[in-house]
Amino acid sequence: MSGGRFDFDDGGAYCGGWEGGKAHGHGICTGPKGQGEYSGSWNYGFEVVGIYTWPSGNTYEGYWSQGKRHGLGIETRGRWLYKGEWTHVFVRHFANALNDKEKN
């Protein structure tokens, strides 16, 4: 396994472990223009267990499967806290829904 940094065309970046041309091991991935950050374990390009932080400061800490929140996790939004089991929740769509609600 090697390590390094990759800058995406959209402004996002990944810095961490690599194997077979994919994120593997520990790494940090930031979205375009600061639209969130995931820090944690990767398995050949997919998140495994870690923390996703939205620009608002809200977080999800827990397990992932195929790029979606899946398994045990904790989501915090200000004073609101949800602990439980997630089933294939795609974080990027959820982030957009949260951002839309926060604007209104």
Sequence ranges of the domains in the chain: 2-103
Q: Mean per-residue pLDDT for 18-40?
A: 92
Q: In what order do the strands lie in the sheet with 37-43?
A: 2-7, 13-19, 22-30, 37-43, 46-53, 59-65, 68-77, 80-90
**Is the C-alpha dihedral spanning 28, 18, 75, 10 positive or negative?**
positive
Please tell me the predicted confidence (pLDDT) of residue 104: 38
Question: At 5, is the pLDDT very low, low, confident or very high (cuts 50, 70, 90)?
Answer: very high
Tell me which H or E stretch contains 36: none
Q: What pLDDT shows up at residue 49?
A: 98
- Mean pLDDT, the chain, rounded, equals 85
Question: Could you say which architecture CATH assigns to the domain 2-103?
Answer: Single Sheet (2.20)
Q: Enumerate the β-bridge partners of residue 85.
A: 72
Confidence of residue 67 (pLDDT cuts 50, 70, 90): confident
Q: Look at residue 96 and tell me whether its pLDDT is greater than 50.
A: no
Segment 5-11 shows an average pLDDT of 91
